[in-house]
Amino acid sequence: MNAFRDARLSLGQLPPGAGGTLADVPGVRVGHHTIAHGEGANAIRTGVTAILPPGDPYAEPLPAGVFVLHGHGKALGLWQILHLGELETPILLTNTLAVPRCADALLTWTLARHPSARSVNPVVLECNDGRLSAIEARPVTEGDALAALGAGAEHVEEGCVGAGTGMVAFGLKSGIGTASRAVGSFTVGALALPNMGRREDLRPPPGLPAPARASPPDQQGATGSLIVVLATNAPLSPEQLSRLARRASLGAARTGAPATTESGDFTVAFSIGWRIPRGVERIPMELIADRSPTMGGLYRAAAEATEEAIYSALVAATPLAGRDGQVVPTVVRP
């Protein structure tokens, strides 16, 4: 189970999936590559996290949708998903200044499998870890991103790993968090990268001690971002997946995520329930009705899994000394 459940915490109305992670969606894997070295002003605390869907996403893209709550971010590849509804590469998460190098890695990864490809839409999402890491040194390389892709596994490690290494949320050490929900035979999994909010914004769930208020108030938390990736095995259309992605914002709001004027709040949702083979004229598929109870359950699952994933990122985080020796406190586990 995820760190949230391991701490004997629970929330919501729906049951978690078997493992309580994004990888409860069959075939989905997550890999991390962590970069942590140096001290003082030159300390590096960053990394890359890869979300790999099953199969070959370039040969058979997956239906996908996007929701942008606030767009102060440097995400790459979302426009094509919004217009074509297809995910054709894995998804990489990293720091703000490493987006181009991670895009290069996705191009290299795809071209190694499809040398004849002449157009590839790499999907990269980011949060700024400059508070704890010398982001301006641009330490992430294409090789680091390829290492994250190569580390994909069904076990989803949480906390200060990969892209989560330098994250701070609600004035507390954050990182990678994950959760899942079951809706009948379907699963919705969420992976969150929270990097937003001040201490006074946090609304802890029952059982999680409220942290002491920062004095003076933490003004750095007034800016920051939140990335969420949703996966499901429910056969949903791109339009339905975009609506599913919107529900992630409901779960984030329950935690106290503020979505400020300088935040990048992005959610990408994809389904493994059917494929869009490249070049076909017609696609036979059987979708879930928009007004069905099942669709309502999937919406609830997206909100609950996102909320839990954000809390799990806080619970899983461990102490870390960042640039200039700065140590951000961690949440008190129950």
Per residue in 24-45, pLDDT (tens digit) is: 999 999 999 999 999 999 999 9
- Does residue 101 lie within any of the structural domains? no
Structure tokens at 70: 């606030």
- Does residue 93 lie within any of the structural domains? no
- Does residue 186 lie within any of the structural domains? yes
Question: pLDDT tens-digit profile of 243-276?
Answer: 999 999 999 999 999 999 999 999 999 999 999 9
Query: What is the DSSP secondary structure assignment for residue 57, as one 8-state letter?
Result: T
Catalytic center residues = 225, 263, 265
CATH number at residue 223: 3.60.70.12
- Contact, 266 vs 79, CB < 8 A? no
* Coil, strand or helix at 270: strand
Beta strand 177-183 with 172-173: parallel, antiparallel or unpaired? unpaired
Question: pLDDT tens-digit profile of 100-122?
Answer: 999 999 999 999 999 999 999 99
Sheet holding 62-71, edge to edge: 86-87, 62-71, 264-271, 225-232, 186-195, 177-183
Phi-psi group of 309: left, alpha or beta (phi > 0 → left; psi -120 to 50 → alpha; rest → beta) = alpha
Question: pLDDT tens-digit profile of 210-233?
Answer: 887 766 666 666 678 999 999 999
How far is residue 129's CA from residue 135's CA, in Å, rounded to a whole number?
7
* 301 pLDDT higher than 80: yes
Q: What is the pTM of this model?
A: 0.97
Query: What is the DSSP secondary structure assignment for residue 30, as one 8-state letter?
Result: E
* Structural domain count of the chain: 1
- Does residue 310 lie within any of the structural domains? yes
- Does residue 329 lie within any of the structural domains? no
pLDDT for position 212: 77
Query: Is the link from the previous residue into 216 a cis peptide, with omega within 30 of 0?
Result: yes
| Bridge partners for 66 per DSSP | 268
* 291 pLDDT higher than 80: yes
pLDDT for position 150: 98
- Does residue 136 lie within any of the structural domains? no
- Does residue 117 lie within any of the structural domains? no
DSSP string, 274-295: S---TT-S-----PPPTTSHHH
Task: Tell me whether residue 83 is exposed, middle or buried, using C-beta atoms within 10 angstroms of its C-beta: 0 to 12, 13 to 18, 19 or more.
Answer: exposed
Residues 6+ apart with CB under 8 A from 293: none
- Which of 25, 24, 20 is closest to 5 using CA atoms? 20
Domain span including residue 166: 3-28+55-88+156-206+213-317
Report residue 2's pLDDT band, with 50, 70 and 90 as the boundaries: very high
Measured in whole angstroms, how far is the alpha carbon of residue 203 from the centre of its chain?
20
What angle in degrees, to the nearest 10, is found between the helix axes of 99-113 and 142-150? 60
- Does residue 260 lie within any of the structural domains? yes
